[in-house]
């Protein structure tokens, strides 16, 4: 009997060890909790989920319009994989587990549809689901920003530019695909306005490094070029290709910019901790 108990206990211990290792692997080799989570990095990760939702739909629309710029088939799958990886990390934090579960419920149905052959008449439903998931991400970020003693909303704003670049691309491609419903022109105008406001906010941030200012300036040039493409509309030669190329350029620079802001906030936090210890 004792021998049986020893075997059972060993087996349970073995299973628990595997479970712990899997959770640790998902969160960068350490289990994330409210206490040890890096606020700016976590906000950046959740913020990136917003971008991935629209990036998936941009790729979906590109495939549906037989456009090959940026290898949309591969881009879509990579974005799906990254979203699911980060979703598990968000779920591992008790404080956000319920919101992440709700997000996952919408995601399961969304993923099922985007893996099918692209159908422009499914896009309205997919955009609604993407916006629902984005709202969950925003609520998590809002909670993190409010509970942080450091002003880390600038990380959220910088990260949001990634998402807005893909929203711009999506609404332009939806219109190009011949979709009349959904107020895509109005949504595009709202997205352009928000991107411009965020650019000004980032530019006026007093803590910007030289590298950050250079990226913002370069992003601003790409944004001006995109405005000109929109103004020309379908008179622009290869309109669909131009949309994808220019919004991809903005996305690449927005990604770098967001990363630089995370690094900046981490440096500030390290400096503050050193100062506290020296008192």
User: Per residue in 83-110, pLDDT tens?
Assistant: 999 999 999 999 999 999 999 999 999 9
Cα distances (Å, whole numbers) of residue 217 to 156, 204, 250, 251 = 19, 12, 11, 14
User: Per residue in 150-196, pLDDT tens?
Assistant: 778 999 999 999 999 999 999 999 988 988 777 888 999 999 999 99
pLDDT given at position 35: 54
Give the span between the Cα atoms of 30 and 200, in whole angstroms: 37
Whether the full predicted model's pTM is greater than 0.85, yes or no, is no
φ and ψ of 204, to 5 deg: -90, 0
Of 235, 124, 219, give the one whose Cα is nearest residue 178.
124
Give the span between the Cα atoms of 186 and 192, in whole angstroms: 10
Split at pLDDT 50, 70, 90, the class of 13 is: very low
User: Which is higher by pLDDT, 270 or 243?
Assistant: 243
- CB proximity list for 32: less than 8 A, separation 6 or greater: 42, 89, 92, 93
Give the span between the Cα atoms of 164 and 169, in whole angstroms: 9
130 with 110: CB under 8 angstroms? Answer: yes
Q: What is the mean pLDDT of the chain?
A: 85
């Amino acid at each position: 009997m004792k021998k049986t108990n020893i075997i059972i206990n060993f087996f349970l211990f073995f299973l628990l060890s595997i479970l712990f290792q899997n959770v640790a692997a998902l969160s960068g080799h350490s289990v994330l909790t409210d206490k040890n989570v890096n606020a700016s990095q976590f906000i950046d990760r959740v913020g990136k989920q917003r971008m991935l939702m629209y990036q998936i739909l941009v790729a979906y629309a590109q495939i549906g319009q037989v456009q090959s710029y940026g290898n949309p088939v591969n881009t879509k799958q990579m974005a799906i994989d990254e979203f699911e990886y980060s979703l598990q990390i968000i779920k591992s934090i008790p404080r956000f587990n319920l919101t992440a579960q709700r997000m996952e419920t919408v995601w399961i149905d969304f993923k099922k549809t985007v893996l099918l052959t692209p159908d422009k008449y499914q896009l309205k439903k997919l955009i609604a689901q993407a916006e629902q998931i984005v709202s969950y991400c925003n609520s998590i970020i809002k909670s993190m920003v409010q509970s942080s003693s450091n002003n880390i909303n600038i990380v959220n704003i910088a990260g949001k530019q990634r998402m807005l670049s893909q929203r711009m691309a999506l609404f332009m491609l939806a219109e190009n695909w011949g979709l009349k419903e959904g107020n895509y022109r109005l949504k595009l105008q709202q997205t352009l306005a928000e991107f411009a406001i965020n650019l000004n906010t980032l530019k006026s941030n007093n803590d910007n490094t030289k590298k950050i200012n250079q990226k913002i300036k370069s992003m601003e040039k790409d944004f001006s070029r995109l405005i000109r493409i929109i103004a020309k509309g379908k008179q622009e030669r290869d309109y669909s290709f131009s949309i994808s190329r220019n919004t991809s350029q903005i996305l690449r620079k927005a990604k770098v910019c967001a990363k630089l802001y995370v690094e900046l906030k981490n440096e500030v936090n390290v400096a503050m901790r050193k100062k506290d210890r020296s008192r």
